[in-house]
Structure 1
C-alpha cells in the first residue's frame, strides 16, 4: 500500500525546526510524473531556492527540510533576473544620457513646449533555472477537463517513497460550492506551463469525493 501525502503549494517550510519560508511552486518531471524539486521562497524575502525533494519531508500542513539554514542558502537559486542591455533598447540614446536632458517643463507658459518624460526603467526579466525537461507547477494554474476549464491547482498528492505524483489537488467549483478534490494521476493527460489537462469530464470531476486537509495530521 502506498504511503501518500497531500500538501498545498504555498505551504509553510521549516528548516532546523523553525519556519524559514514557503513553497512558491513545485517542479515536476512530466514524463516520469515525479516531483523533483520544491522552490522555497525564504522568509524574510530573499532569493528563492531550488530544493531537491530528497531534502524535504512532505507533511499535510507543512514541509520539513533536512538541511540547515546555511545549506539552504547554498542551494541553487530557482530564478535569475536579468535586464535588457542598452544595445537592445530603441530609445535613440544611452541610459547614461538621461541626466543631460534639458528641463523643458521650465519654459514660459504658452510656448507649446511640454516636458518630456524619461523612459521607464527596464523591467527585470525572470529566467527559471530548472532541470532540463522539468516544468513548474504553481498554485492557481488552470485545470482543463475534457470538456473545458474546471478549476485551479491547489497542490499535489505524492508517494513518500519515490516522489511519484499520485494525484493533483484541484479547487473545483465556485465560491459557495467550492471543494478540494484529488484527480488521479492516471487521469491526467499532461502537465505543462499552461496548466494541467485531464481526461475526465467536468461531471466526473464533480463526482470525486472531497479532500479535507484540515482533518489530516502531520505524520
Structure 2
C-alpha cells in the first residue's frame, strides 16, 4: 500500500524580485472614477506570462467576472491596482464564460 506524507512549510518571506510587485487575489481594483471590484483570478499564457486579471464586478445578486488586460493597469501598489480605464469602459470588457 502506498504511503503519503504531508509536508508543511512555514513561509517567512516571499521572494519577490526587486523592481516587481506581487499581485494577489482580493486586491482592490480602482478605475479612474472609483472602485470597480477585486481580483478573483489570473489568466496565464502557455509561456507562463500573466496576460489578464479576472475582476469580479457587481453586487451579490448581479455579479459578473470580467477579463482585464494587463495593458489597462496604470500602476499598482501592495493592495491596490489602479487602471487607466473608467468604470463604463471596464464594464464593457469581455466577461468570462460561466
TM class by shorter chain equals 0.7 to 0.9
Unaligned runs of 5+ in 1: 1-43, 49-78, 81-126, 215-219
1:151 equivalent to 2:61? Answer: no
Unaligned runs of 5+ in 2: 1-5
Return the match for 1:176 from 32, 45, 61.
61
- Higher-Rg structure is 1
| Matched residues, number | 93
Aligned structure 1 segments of 4 or more residues deviating by more than 6 angstroms: none
RMSD: 2.0
Which residue in the other structure is 1:211 paired with? 96
Using the size of structure 2 for normalisation, the TM-score is 0.80
Map 1:74-113 to 2 at 5 A: 79-80=11-12
Quote how far apart the aligned CAs of 1:209 are.
2.5
Q: Distance in 2 between matches of 1:153 and 1:145?
A: 13
| Greater RCO, CA 8 A, separation 6+ | 2
Which residue in the other structure is 1:137 paired with? 23
Which residue in the other structure is 1:164 paired with? 49
Using the size of structure 1 for normalisation, the TM-score is 0.39
Cα 1:207–1:132 shift into 2, 3 Å:
same
Q: Of Structure 1 and Structure 2, which has the larger fraction of its residues in helix? A: 1
Cα 1:144–1:128 shift into 2, 3 Å:
same
Which residue in the other structure is 2:78 paired with? 193
Deviations 1:84-124 (A, max 9, x none): xxxxxxxxxxxxxxxxxxxxxxxxxxxxxxxxxxxxxxxxx
